[in-house]
Structure 1
Amino acid sequence: MRIGQLAQLVGIETQTIRFYEQQGLLSPPDRQENGYRSYTKMHGEQLTFIRRCRKLDLSLVEIHELLSYQKHPHQPCSAINSLLDDHISDVRTQITSLQALENQLVSLRASCSNEREIETCGVLAEISDPKIHS
């Protein structure tokens, strides 16, 4: 199948497929006599795997590592577990940061009522205050 058909089948853009090829995440397709790439069902399966990894917010490096583990299926999966443990730790750090951001935004929002005019807006005043930490 051609790249457009593969993109439609998997539900991604053709540029994304080319990007994954350039990054070494997708096996290189065969070329037809006319130079077009020829993709197989295997490419669709690889792209589906990559998409699922991206939905888990795994980085391209992490995905590359997982794909390399798939090529050696008889190894213990401790390395995969370690990779996932590290990713879970990163996600927890992001959650903590987002919760702190939420608290800041809630506090900022509480500094202004809807009845004020913009020139006396507490939100803008607090954001502009040089005494507040950035």
Structure 2
Amino acid sequence: MTLSTGKVAKLAGVNVETLRFYEREGILPEPPRRASGYREYPPETVELIHFIKRSQELGFSLKEVKELLSLRKVPRRASKKATTLVDAKLAEIDLKLRDLRSMREALESLRCACASNGSSSACPIIESLSGRSESEEPG
């Protein structure tokens, strides 16, 4: 049994253009076509798309997804390589979290400066984002 493009897209929860994109990127193998030119996907394509989407939800790039997919073909090497990919992704996420914490602290500081600014001078938030200090006058 084969599935049409529309059926695969519906079952996998993606749109038809996503399937075509995955094919162009080499993530999804191009399926055979009927005499009419319509694509005929094997049923396991739906599971493959779920794998791709879940990997992306966890932060893996399409390049990394390709690598993860290739590991499915070499089970005895898969675990070590998959662990390496996950470790790299965790390190990347940790770095992003540090950056986000820094950004949050900077914004909190700006918010506090604005709240405590009882004068009629310019808003400290706007001044900070403009790259000018309070003592600088536009000129």
Normalising by the smaller structure, the TM-score range is 0.7 to 0.9
List aligned pairs for 1:1-134, cutoff 5 A. 1-75=3-77, 77-113=79-115, 120-130=122-132
Deviation at 1:76, TM superposition (A): 5.5
Shift of 1:121: 2.3
2: CA distance, partners of 1:98 / 1:85: 20
One-letter code of the match for 2:126?
Answer: L
Percent identical pairs in the alignment equals: 32
- How far did residue 16 of structure 1 move? 1.2
Q: TM-score, normalised by structure 1?
A: 0.86
Larger gyration radius, structure 1 or structure 2: 2
Which segments of 5 or more consecutive residues in structure 2 lack a partner in the other structure?
134-139
Please give the alpha-carbon distance, in whole angstroms, between the structure 1 residues aligned to 2:18 and 2:92. Answer: 25
Write out the 4+ residue segments of structure 1 that deviate beyond 6 Å after TM superposition. none
Alignment partners' CA distance in 1, 2:58 and 2:98: 18
CA RMSD of aligned residues (A): 2.2
Q: 2:33·2:40 contact (CA, 8 Å) conserved in 1?
A: yes
SS for the counterpart of 2:60 is coil
Structure 1 residues 67 and 76: alpha-carbon distance in aligned structure 2, compared to 1, 3 A threshold: closer
